[in-house]
A and B are shown apart, each in its own frame.
Chain A
């Protein structure tokens, strides 16, 4: 029986509470001087991995939890957070500031790491809240030929290999059963991520971050999609307020909504 070796990809994104602004040149969203934090779905992945270890829910135990991030030097901040939450060590694939790697490129990097580190479970967020693509986990599973369970709201184990995942689908949930190795993507209802405590933040500073490049892993990150432009969505005109319920009904009729 082999223990779990979990890989958790995390992404540094603009904080979810910040309203993003498009830059003047309409080429991208303004990121300079904007608060960044760990992608919320990735926090769920770290939390779930740590809980599997703490609750001993997998009979073989958890051998290691490795956090991974591909991004600019500042991506190390989110790796430190991940380690303060309970990841054992980290891998950072550094790219230049402002260089955005596509999901397919990330999936290829992850595949190389999975093979290098002999990983048997990847716990991935269902999507990053900047690109909103929702592709990386599925792409990785495809490249590896592994099973996948997306938008997980519950993960449990059967014996020393079986994984049972409840997934969020349109209109409810669906349950699938698979064998290790597997790629799981996490959804909001999976758990409630912990806050990193101060002592753990201090301890995380001593944990190791392996730095490497895409070349080290033998991956070509050439982009396939070119961003032509980025614009603000057309603003909605707040139509002002009405005094009472009758006013509301009248206005809705006037607008043709009733």
Chain B
């Protein structure tokens, strides 16, 4: 545990430098040499996932040096792509196809070894399927209490995260030597993919065997923008009544606006829309410029996934639906009339 002791020495030095009370982010610049973050970046089929660059943005807010981490087969191209990302000083790359699918059983050990070697004080990854399955395992191996799904950074130890489906916002302070953090994608925009010139070095590879084996996947294909990062989202609920109606009513509206399509849990459970489209506490969290929903009542679990949208518009025939309490623009009416009319009028413009 050599890095541990190093960190505690640095920690003492930092405590002496730090003024009492809450500190603002800029004052960390003087201490930034002591703080070093590892941003774990995702890749797929030899391409860097730009959505995962939010981890770099979060690391920039912490201050300190930033190292990017990538692993997989033929990783060179991904590492070169990542080296261009603005703000990263160094890329640690591990070339081994065993890490292609991000299986947590071997990836967690890989990360632990590289965290120990690099002596990082902060490790950051997106709160995606990959980050969610990987990071707690890493935390347990390092004996650290992870901080999940943060939306803001107050200082190097203090983070803000929503709890109770976003019905409360908690500020928590960590006393662990290493901070393991997953970040909410909608709260940290992706870092610039150009403008950086990081050095690339090989990481350590413990070559652990994974006890699970990747068999296959079934991903929904879509030409529309990605739900989690789209600027506009149109979303349908139980009020659509069937899959045929969902497709007939909602998809043209999405195309007229150039928007991604989302759905409530009720619509997904009833089979109107694919599971991957679900917006809410148990699905995706979105925060687009415009969230336009039809036939959604606005249960708290759904609101948890969309209430940070810039503008919320709702069409519902029940004037007392809870969705109208959060909607900036509400229209009471039958969605089977109103949505096609809206689609037509938007197309004419």
Q: Are chains A and B native binding partners rather than an unrelated pairing? A: yes
B149 touches A132 (CB 8 A): yes
Residues of B near A14 (CB, < 8 A) are: 164
Report how far A140 CA is from B139 CA in the complex, Å. 10
Q: Which chain B residues numbered 125 to 151 have a C-beta less than 8 Å away from chain A?
A: 128-129, 132-141, 143-149
B217 touches A172 (CB 8 A): yes
Residues of A near B132 (CB, < 8 A) are: 134, 138, 150-151
Give 14 CB contacts A-B under 8 Å.
Answer: A29-B167, A135-B136, A138-B140, A139-B136, A142-B136, A150-B129, A175-B215, A177-B215, A187-B282, A230-B163, A231-B168, A236-B325, A241-B331, A244-B333
Which A residue's beta carbon lies closest to that of B232?
Answer: A257
Report how far A228 CA is from B172 CA in the complex, Å. 5
- Which of A130, A147, A256, A257 is close to B313, meaning CB atoms less than 8 Å apart? A257
Number of A interface residues, CB 8 Å?
80
- Which of A103, A169, A179, A255 is close to B211, meaning CB atoms less than 8 Å apart? A179
B331 touches A248 (CB 8 A): yes
- Asked whether B98 is an interface residue with its Cβ less than 8 Å from the other chain, the reply is no
Which A residue's beta carbon lies closest to that of B332?
Answer: A241
Which A residue's beta carbon lies closest to that of B137?
Answer: A142
B175 touches A239 (CB 8 A): no
Of B59-67, B101-109, B194-202, the one with at least 4 CB within 8 A of chain A: B101-109
Q: Which chain B residues numbered 203 to 219 have a C-beta less than 8 Å away from chain A?
A: 210-219
Given contacts A135-B148, A138-B140, contact A29 B163 (CB under 8 A): yes
- Asked whether B176 is an interface residue with its Cβ less than 8 Å from the other chain, the reply is yes
B325 touches A129 (CB 8 A): no
Beyond A143-B140, A174-B129, A245-B338, 12 additional contacts (C-beta under 8 Å) are A22-B168, A131-B163, A132-B149, A139-B139, A142-B138, A172-B274, A174-B216, A175-B215, A226-B175, A230-B163, A230-B168, A256-B311
Q: How large is the interface on B (under 10, 10 to 19, 20 to 34, 35 or more residues)?
A: 35 or more
Which B residue's beta carbon lies closest to that of A163?
Answer: B212
A142 touches B141 (CB 8 A): yes
A-side interface residues toward B, CB under 8 Å?
14, 16, 19-20, 22, 29, 102-104, 107, 129-143, 146-151, 153, 164, 167-179, 187-189, 223-233, 236-249, 251-252, 255-258
Report how far A154 CA is from B24 CA in the complex, Å. 47
- Asked whether B186 is an interface residue with its Cβ less than 8 Å from the other chain, the reply is no
- Asked whether B20 is an interface residue with its Cβ less than 8 Å from the other chain, the reply is no
Quote the shortest CB–CB distance from A159 to chain B (angstroms). 14
Report how far A136 CA is from B326 CA in the complex, Å. 33
Quote the shortest CB–CB distance from A152 to chain B (angstroms). 11
- Asked whether B289 is an interface residue with its Cβ less than 8 Å from the other chain, the reply is yes
Quote the shortest CB–CB distance from B97 to chain A (angstroms). 16
B148 touches A248 (CB 8 A): no
Report how far A14 CA is from B163 CA in the complex, Å. 12
